[in-house]
Amino acid sequence: MRKVWEFCSTQKIVFGPGSINQLNEILDDLKAKRIFVITDPGIKSAGILDNILSVLEKGDYQVEVFAEAQAEPSIEMVLECFEFASSKLDTDVIIGLGGGSSIDLAKVTALLMAHGGNPKDYFGEHQVPGPIAPLIAIPTTAGTGSEVTSVAVVTDTENQLKVGISDNHLRPAVALLDPELTVKLPAYVTACTGIDALAHAVEAYTAKPYSSIETEEKILFQGALPISDALALRSIELVAENLTIAVRQGGNIEARTNMLLASLLAGMAFSNAGTALSHALAYPIGGLVKAPHGEVTGLMLPYVMEFNAPVVQEKMINIARAFGIQTDKMNKSDAAHAASEATLQLLKDIGLPTTLEQIGIKEDSIKEIANKTLGISRLVRNNPRVPTEKDLEELVSKAFN
């Protein structure tokens, strides 16, 4: 039994509409003059990069921009970005601007700037030898929480694998969250990223307790903790109250602010407590179809919640209440299952698929998905109900159609 837990997060969080105007003050605190901005073509074409550059123009900075980030950046992309930065200036601070992939690219580039080598040298947990180059993460989506997490995902194209680098040294020095940067996010992207935030929060909240994680090794994903529980439950409330509004009323700054806060809180929670079975299932499913990560985790979430309900009944009841369900007159079993039903209804309300058949999974892939999921032990061990391969086959079958 583990008796000790710890909680880690980003050193500084700056949050609120218009907070991007504090960027120069943050840079001054870091004594930075040479700035390297990493973003993607969509952020550039949307004019968000120009907004950032116009703020930087008010200060006396040397600025270089790499605007070629791609979804799930490859090792080759990381090396290209690192070489570009190295050839342009002796960087003081990196700014990662965009969704989770841009921030992940910035994290790994900052890692190479500090320690050199190849991203492959750092695959796995606890392989980063020390602090990375100073990094300011500015998210433009409300979902991944990458601005406060200890994980970066890159694609090993040679082996056709998504691989994680996980270490507390990867957390950015500053997370700067301005909801105004998310206002132009399309409804579909808002839905996918928002449901991903919910999956982070629910799985962190319902994770196996830290004292029950059966390993004495040093691990990043420690199981449910008192602090992560509080953050995750508040995140669930915010998503339940605001995601549908943010999807249907993209210009609603209050809903956008609350969703960005939900994403932040979920990121703080899951980067300590961990995610579980929905995310484990998403790996093999994502390998079979080209569906966004958030869409897949969100699709599987209600089915996993239903599977877990008997062993985390009280927490599922709290989730149901966070969705506004009056559980007082319900028996505990029904109240717990109401949480998964509310999540399934939310998927319908925001226009996301609710079955694997809808995203192109074939019925004959069910056994393969179950088998591969069981091998993702880092996430499966975090799940409150330990699944067998037969359990997983039944769960995936329920999600099929």
The mean pLDDT value for 369-375 works out to: 94
Label residue 157 by pLDDT band (50, 70, 90).
confident
Q: Which are the contacts of 309, defined by CB distance < 8 A and separation ≥ 6?
A: 316, 333, 336, 337, 339, 340
pTM attached to this predicted model: 0.95
Interval 171-181: pLDDT, tens: 999 999 999 99
Q: Where are the domain boundaries for CATH 1.20.1090.10 in the chain? A: 187-400
CB atoms within 10 A of CB 103: 30
Q: Which are the contacts of 90, defined by CB distance < 8 A and separation ≥ 6?
A: 34
CATH 3.30.420.40 fits 12-182, yes or no: no
Q: What's residue 90's pLDDT?
A: 86
Q: Where are the domain boundaries for CATH 3.40.50.1970 in the chain? A: 12-182
Q: What string of H, E and C letters represents the secondary structure of the chain?
A: CCCCCCCCCCCEEEECCCHHHHHHHHHHHCCCCEEEEECCHHHHHCCHHHHHHHHHCCCCCEEEEECCCCCCCEHHHHHHHHHHHHHHCCCCEEEEEECHHHHHHHHHHHHHHHHCCCHHHHCEECCCCCCCCCEEEEECCCCCCHHHCCEEEEEECCCCEEEEEECHHHCCCEEEECHHHHCCCCHHHHHHHHHHHHHHHHHHHCCCEHHHCCCCCCCCCCCECHHHHHHHHHHHHHHHHHHHHHHHCCCCHHHHHHHHHHHHHHHHHHHHHCCCHHHHHHHHHHHHCCCCHHHHHHHHHHHHHHHHHHHCHHHHHHHHHHCCCCCCCCCHHHHHHHHHHHHHHHHHHCCCCCCCHHHCCCHHHHHHHHHHHHCCHHHHCCCCCCCCHHHHHHHHHHHHC
- For residue 108, pLDDT over 90 is answered with yes
Q: What's residue 222's pLDDT?
A: 94
Which CATH number, 1.10.3430.10, 3.40.1230.10, 1.20.1090.10, 3.40.50.970, labels domain 187-400? 1.20.1090.10
What percentage of residues in the chain have a pLDDT greater than 90? 86
- Average pLDDT of the chain to the nearest whole number: 94
